[in-house]
Structure 1
Amino acid sequence: MVSGKLIKFLVYEILEFAAFSIPTIVVAEQFASAFQGTKNSAEKTFYWLIVSISVAYVALVTLIVWIPVKVLLYKKHHLCSKVRQWRPPLMMCIVFTTLPCFGFSIAVTEVQKNASNTATLPDTLPDLPVSVVLASLIIVDIIEKLRKYPLRGRPIKNEDSHIHTTDLQQVKTVTEPVKPSEKKNAVPQPAKRSPIGTGVLRAMSQQDERAELFLNSFIIWSDTTEMLRVSGHSAVFKSGWLYPVYIFSYISLLRIIVTPQNSLVRSLGVFLQDFPFMFVRISLIADLGTITPVLGLLKNILVTLSYFYFNYLTTFRVFTTNETTSF
């Protein structure tokens, strides 16, 4: 009988491979349709040629890169312990799927520009290519985070055992005297939160890490999603602003290659997303108006300034004070 662990493994691998292969074919088909529309011939020779090339590309990359890396990580367990700071599946998706998809998306607008006047271009670009690409990355991101959790039952939490061990280490024996310095420097411990009484509120207060994982994964991508949505505005793709928007959006995606527990995640989020997005949004607003939300610009500014202030400026003497909190 097939075990649940094997079924879980196969489902995860099939979903990841679908997220790796489908976006390239979908975006290439969009480019093939746009390119075929520039021809005055009823034959779809160029259409099927482009589609077949994209399928061949996906098959070639799968055989040369995807399958060997997956088999190597599955067979060589000692390698898995050495790649805990970055995630190979997401790196392969970023390099071999997202990069060509962004190239095809830019090529679609360039083909339409060369085939007709700029005034005849549509007001907005279709959202399907961008949504497919980002959805595929989100799926792989969620799967890689979800691998360590069981899908049935409640996950085993190690926090309780850690807290219990820590508390036992701090307990003083009855005969051991307490030093005056320990009394003076003792920090009052916060009171434990009382459990919620009624059954309805107790049920609503449940927090499962697996459910929060899905929520956080989509929230992390919201800024990049909004930036790519701006690329579909006519004022952007009819001008040269399309290139910096796609370039910096792709750079912002590179941060997901590292694992969530990596200490560089916070810094990469600022240096690869908020800091460059701040300048891109300021430039867009100054040149084209408020086609990008001002709230997004405010978020980039506050995140960047707070990061540099609390991590670097507060270490200087001029910013060092003896300020204490009121609580």
Structure 2
Amino acid sequence: MASGKLIKLIVFELLEFAAFSVPTLVVMEQFATAYQRTRNASEPTHYWLIVSCSIAYVASVTLLIWVPIKVILHKKRHLYKKIIGWRPVLMMCVVLTTLPSFSFSIAVTEVQKNINGSADLLPDALPDLPVSLVLLSLILVDIIEKIRIYPLRGSEESNEDGHIHTTSLQQIKTVTEQVRQNEVSPASPQGANSIHVSRPLGAVTQRRVPVLVGPQEPSFDSGILRTMSRRDVRAEVFLWSFLLWSDTVEMLRVAGHSAVYKSSWLYPVYIFSFISLLRIIFTPKNPLLNSLGILLQDLPFVFVRLSLIIVLGTITPILGLCKNVLVTLSYVYFNYLTKLRVFSTFEASPF
């Protein structure tokens, strides 16, 4: 009988392969249907030619790229450990599936314009299935790659936040005790020599780290509240994997608006949405991920959303623009401007 690890591996690999191949086939079939309408409907030659080309493309990249890399990752573990900071599986999905799917989604709208002869005769909104399927497949592969290291059975509660909270409290307590001891204990000659009284007062003051006091978090030891307060890393992987791409999903939803896809604004929306998806290639705890999120998503989205609002009106939510602006400004301020002397004074909250 097959072991649980083998069944888990087979299920994950089948799901990843389906997420890798299905979006391209679906989008290409829609392109074939739209292109066939421009030809003689009684002769489906062009339709089957495009469908067969899509099947050949998926089969080629599967046999030449997907399967060999998957085998290497599973067999050559020493090579897999040398891959630091990025994920080959997600890179293959972004380059070989998402990029062709977005390209042919744009081609479908261009073909429909040629069918109707005018952009005014196009439908009021594009179908949501292709874009949702592409993003769902990409998020599915991301979830599988994150949850692969965890067991699917048994309890796996998250102690990361509790460990960080306890460690922070210990550090704050230690710093507080040291400050109080320095204030209470009389100044001895040795202590004066160690502190260097001749040093400016500001130098001594900077060594005292202010205590960070935040709101008290509740803890429940019994009853229904304890059951409701349970946290599991595996469940949070699903939650945050979808929330992470909500901004890109909203931007692609705007692409289905008639005022966008009937004009040339469709191209920058799709291009910058695809650029924002490049972040998924990097590992979840990569130190560069925060800066890449600003450079690849929030900063470009500021200009795209602002331009759309100025030219076409509020077809994209103002809340999305405010989110991009505030995230960009806060990142620049707290990471770079606070290093300058005028912003370098640390102020503890009085509450």
Taking only the aligned residue pairs, the percentage that are identical comes to: 63
Q: Which amino acid aligns with 2:255?
A: S
- Give, in whole Å, the separation in 2 of the partners of 1:186 and 1:106: 55
Deviations 1:174-221 (A, max 9, x none): xxxxx9449886987989966315411111111111111111011011
Count of residue pairs the alignment pairs up: 323
TM (norm. structure 2) is 0.84
Provide the alpha-carbon RMSD of the alignment. Answer: 2.9
Q: Which amino acid aligns with 2:30?
A: Q
Once the two structures are TM-superposed, the CA of residue 313 in structure 1 deviates from its matched residue by 0.7
- Give, in whole Å, the separation in 1 of the partners of 2:246 and 2:74: 32
Deviations 1:293-324 (A, max 9, x none): 11111110110110101111111111122422
Q: Which amino acid aligns with 2:263?
A: S
Indicate the SS of the match to 1:149. Answer: coil
Taking the TM superposition and a 5 Å limit, the aligned residue runs for 1:38-49 are 38-49=38-49
Cα pair 2:210 2:348 within 8 Å, conserved: no
Pair 1:323–1:110, CA change in 2 (3 A): same
Taking the TM superposition and a 5 Å limit, the aligned residue runs for 1:1-327 are 1-115=1-115, 116-155=117-156, 180-181=181-182, 195-327=219-351
Once the two structures are TM-superposed, the CA of residue 155 in structure 1 deviates from its matched residue by 2.4
Q: Which amino acid aligns with 1:243?
A: Y
Once the two structures are TM-superposed, the CA of residue 41 in structure 1 deviates from its matched residue by 3.2
Pair 1:313–1:257, CA change in 2 (3 A): same
Q: Which amino acid aligns with 1:66?
A: W
Once the two structures are TM-superposed, the CA of residue 119 in structure 1 deviates from its matched residue by 1.4
Unaligned residue ranges in structure 1 (runs of 5+): 173-178
Pair 1:323–1:24, CA change in 2 (3 A): same
Deviations 1:3-37 (A, max 9, x none): 00110011000000000000000000010010011
Indicate the SS of the match to 2:219. Answer: coil
Pair 1:199–1:250, CA change in 2 (3 A): same
Pair 1:312–1:168, CA change in 2 (3 A): closer
TM (norm. structure 1) is 0.90
- Give, in whole Å, the separation in 2 of the partners of 1:102 and 1:235: 19
Pair 1:197–1:120, CA change in 2 (3 A): same
Q: Which amino acid aligns with 1:274?
A: D
Indicate the SS of the match to 2:230. Answer: coil
Deviations 1:245-289 (A, max 9, x none): 000000000011000011111111111000000100000000000
Pick the structure with greater CA Rg: 2
Unaligned residue ranges in structure 2 (runs of 5+): 175-179, 186-207
